[in-house]
Each structure stands twice: as C-alpha cells, then as structure tokens.
Amino acid sequence: MSSKSKSFGEKILIFFVAIVGIVALIFTIIHMAYSPTPDKSRVTNETDIKVSVETSKETASPFIKTYDAEKFSSFSETKQMKILGSTCGKLEGDVPFVSIKNKKDSYVKISFRDNDSKNLVPDIKKISLYTADGMPVSPKKRLDIAVTYDFDHKTGNLSMHLSDFIPRDKLTFRGEEADVDATEDNIWFCIFEIEYSLEGNDYVSITAVSVGE
C-alpha cells in the first residue's frame, strides 16, 4: 500500500471516529436534558440544618435550597429568582406532585433536623409563596395568597394543606387538560421561601412542588 493510500485511509478513519464522537456527545446532551435531576444535585445546603419535605404521595424527590439569610439577601434579585426557579426542576415530573382535589392529598410536611438527625425546632419568621404557570419557570410572588400552616413546637414539623389556600380555578392543570387560557397568575408550581431562626442565626430554605387536580 502506498503512503498516499495509507494517509487517505487514516483520514477516513479519523473522520469516522469524529462523527461517532459527535453523535455520542449529542446523544449524551439530549439524554441529560430529558432525564430527571440526580438526587445529589437536588440539595444545596450551606448550613448544618437538614430540611426534608414529605407529601401525601411520594413521587419525585424535592429540590431543597438552604442558605444563611444574610448571604441570601446579599444576592441580586436575578440570582434569587434563579434559585427559586431551580427548585422546580428542569422538566415535567422533576418535583413532587401534590393534588388539591381533596384536603388529604394536598398535605405537605417540612421538617428540620441536625447532622445527627435530631429534630430541630426553628422559630418560623415568614413563609412567602411564589408560583409559576409553566416552564420555563418565572417565579411570581403571590401577595394575593396567604399561606396557612400548622407548626408543631415539640417536633419542629411544619405542615400545610395546599387545598386550604391554593385556588383551584387558578391551576394550570385541572384534570387531564391544561388551561389554554393560562396567564402568569395560573399555578403549576408552588415555591415556598421559608425564613426562620435557630439559636440566634437566621436562615432561608426554599423548596417547590407541582400542583394540580
């Protein structure tokens, strides 16, 4: 075989390998984009507080972001909104689903524990509700909806029934159909920003669920 033929064959091989590599890369990117977020990427915690979220029906694992309150408040509004939006996941079904069709199924419980899994009893300062009508997520603070909840001062558990305060006529999804006339006031995701203190320190924890009937 001449050196010229050999060189041409090597070029063909390199071209083939490059094409295979590009196809593999594209496949990997698509797979990652349409796969649920790994559990290890769902929690951001810059404190020693472990926050857990429980719903009446276990579906996807929740996203939970916990920060020192002073640090979180130092972030720009754009960064804060990005953090809030990130708790809704990257695709449909990436966060826990809560039905508000009846009170029992609309249950959400939030617990606080230390590194030894012992219950912590925080002083709840404020719970702000943000909603988003779909994806991409654009959080909207809902001053028109008051979050109602119960707090167990012995266990530190915070519990709520979303059916108590989420209006059914504002749901993006009612039954099997999406609201074709949905506006930014419609609700697909509920994002909770919880401000609280423990042992003289202030914290912020953020989590989200999707809601429907």
Q: Model-level pTM?
A: 0.82
99 and 112 both lie in a single domain = yes
Written as tens digits, the pLDDT of the chain (213 aa) is 555 555 656 666 666 666 655 654 544 333 344 445 676 778 989 899 999 999 988 778 999 999 999 999 999 999 999 999 999 998 888 999 999 999 999 999 999 999 999 999 999 999 999 999 988 999 999 999 999 999 999 999 999 999 999 999 999 877 655 555 667 789 999 999 999 999 999 999 999 999 998
Could you tell me if 119 and 156 are in contact, meaning their C-beta atoms sit under 8 angstroms apart? yes
- Closest among 181, 186, 180, 183 to 210, alpha carbons compared: 186
82 and 152 both lie in a single domain = yes
Rounded Cα distance between 157 and 151, Å, is: 6
- Closest among 125, 128, 127, 147 to 196, alpha carbons compared: 125
4 and 59 both lie in a single domain = no
Range of the domain at 18: 1-35
91 and 137 both lie in a single domain = yes
4 and 109 both lie in a single domain = no
